[in-house]
Amino acid sequence: MSDIKTEIISVGTELLLGQIVNTNAAWISQRLADKGLSVYYHTVVGDNEHRLTSVFSEAEKRSDVIFITGGLGPTEDDLTREAFQNISDLPIIYDQATLTKMEQFFAKNNRKMTPNNRRQAHVFEGSTVLKNSVGIAPGIIVENDKKVWVFMPGVPREMKAIMTEEVMPFLSEKFKLDTVIRSRMLRFIGIGESQLEHELKELISNQTNPTIAPLASEGEVALRLTAKAKNTSEAEQLIDTVEHKITKIVGQYLYGYDEVNIEQKVLDLLKQNKLTIASAESLTGGAFASSIVDHQGSSVLFKGAAVVYHPYAKETALEIDSKLLSKHGTVSKECAEAMSSQVKKIYQSDIGISFTGVAGPDKIENQAVGTVYISICDKDNTFYTEKFQFNGDRKAVRNRAVKKAYEMFYYHLKV
């Protein structure tokens, strides 16, 4: 099978406005990858006939198979068919089987079928009409000028049914699909994107199959390994080989795969070690505690949190000596360690963790914005305390502090 270029066009002004998240394109891409088909473009376009026509015209020039979701409904702003007719000159006709199905649906539900509903039975002359087992509007496949156009409703449930039951069998037969695409995400923490790329420079420069794609996110980085092969087993073997080469170089930073995140990984380690924790939070304002309880099973390991933003709160809620705060300040190693020790004692947890610092916009105690102390008081009352200087606004500083705490926990617990 020669390389078939595919693209996905999602139609709907509501997608552009952010009122609806475009999950259709991601789902279709995953299904196509299962059959070894590469997606080259994702496009979102509003309900405007001129712009739709322009997007369709461009897609026709660059892709072999074009998937369109949305714009097949009964209202006047459903213009997908009209836009395609502008570039193909194909007549639009009624599909009698669809029309009959619609009439039966409305009669069964004791509803009057308005004239505009008939629009959903519009198909192109000579097209293949795709059955919709969970809705009314059919899908349509049009083969025109050596290009394949697949039109499906925008409703995810209906699109998925048509794609699974009708489109994939059609594509498998037409293109004799004999390859699969498989991806694996390797997740790293404690190493920056630039350092990771530098360490793996030779592997990345010489990548062929599988490909290696670095992906950065807040406080961590990932590598997506993607292989194309005749079957799943062969693709996985190709990925295994490259992963082994990667882990020989930077394996000490690898913490998980695919959908696993660092928060869940740390919680799993806490459970494995039968450890409980409590948090004392100043600048983070309870963000760490919130991130813990977002995960199922946190109740067995999380004892509680003390949000002690003001010095008075640190003195009263955590019983920290006012003389310590006067001498060292609230943004200090000494304060951070007193907080982690006291919260552990008060909540009777195995481990205490604390956050204190300056989120901004102004300095505190002559400490620069972004200065953060994070302290872990272990079950044997040993302190693991670090000072950081984070960049960004208040929200960014707080988020980075929480992420860094998970990094500290991970490396402390995995030994």
Residue pLDDT, tens place only, 282-341: 999 999 999 999 998 899 999 999 999 999 999 999 999 999 999 999 999 999 999 999
Yes or no: is domain 180-257 CATH 3.30.70.2860?
yes
Contact 377, 350 (CB under 8 A): no
Q: Which residue has the tokens 């923490």?
A: 189
Summarised one tens digit per residue, pLDDT across range 30-83 is: 999 888 899 999 999 999 999 999 999 999 999 999 999 999 988 888 999 999
> Which residues fall within 8 angstroms of residue 304, CB to CB, at 6 or more apart?
278, 289, 347
Please list the residue range(s) of the chain that carry CATH number 3.40.980.10.
5-175
For residues 355-363, average pLDDT = 94
pLDDT, position 351: 98
Fold of 5-175: Molybdenum Cofactor Biosythetic Enzyme; Chain A (3.40.980)
Q: What is the pLDDT of residues 373-395, one digit of tens each?
A: 999 999 999 999 999 999 999 99
Neighbours of 407 (CB within 10 A): 19
| pLDDT score recorded for residue 1 | 45
Q: Where in the chain is the domain with CATH 3.30.70.2860?
A: 180-257
Considering the chain, tell me which residue range(s) the CATH 3.90.950.20 domain(s) occupy: 262-413
Q: How far apart are CA 199 and CA 398, in angstroms?
A: 29
Q: How far apart are CA 329 and CA 65, in angstroms?
A: 65
CATH number of 262-413: 3.90.950.20
Nearest to 60 by CA among 11, 7, 125: 7
d(CA 388, CA 402): 12
Residue range 256-296, pLDDT digits in tens: 999 899 999 999 999 999 999 999 999 999 999 999 999 98
Look at residue 2 and tell me whether its pLDDT is greater than 60: no
Q: In percent, how much of the chain has pLDDT > 70?
A: 100
